[in-house]
Amino acid sequence: MKPRPEPPLQLFFDGACPVCAREVGSYLRLDGGRHLAGVDISSADFDPARWGRSRAEFETRMHALDAAGRWYLGVDAFVATWQLLPGWHWRWAARLVQLEPVRRLAQVGYRFFARHRHLLK
């Protein structure tokens, strides 16, 4: 289990994916600029080299980067996000998803979604 993320947490998401943009947008609104920042990897000015990663890596799954330089990938990026959102239910969801077999099911489901999200564009 990774430590609680050190804010601010930068969320790297595919803004060209309607579900992705809506989900991350809702997190950013709930947060109100306190702990989260969004980085749209579909933006023309996004440069993956700035982060030491390839575009393909960013497109494979959601990434989050905290102030301590720790990367959270896929389901872990969602868990890190939920840990910082206001409301007990988000922290409860973060804890639940870290338990086996819930974690494994979440990872399988997320990998399937991430691989096929282009069908939603």
| H helix or E strand, kind and range, residue 65 | strand 63-65
Does a structural domain hold residue 112? yes
> DSSP 3-state assignment of 30?
helix
CA distances for 10 relative to 40, 62, 73, angstroms: 10, 11, 12
Does pLDDT of 14 surpass 90? yes
Domain count, the chain: 1
Flag whether the pTM goes above 0.85. Answer: yes
DSSP class of residue 9? E
Q: What are the backbone angles phi and psi of residue 61, rounded to the nearest 5°?
A: -160, 165
Using a pLDDT cut of 70, give the percent of the chain over it: 97
Reading phi first (left if > 0) and then psi (alpha if -120 to 50, else beta), residue 87 is in left
Who wins on pLDDT, 8 or 121? 8
Residue 25 lies in a domain: yes
Mean pLDDT, residues 17-46 taken together: 96
Domain range for residue 66? 9-120
pLDDT in tens, 52-91: 999 999 999 999 999 999 999 999 999 999 999 999 999 9
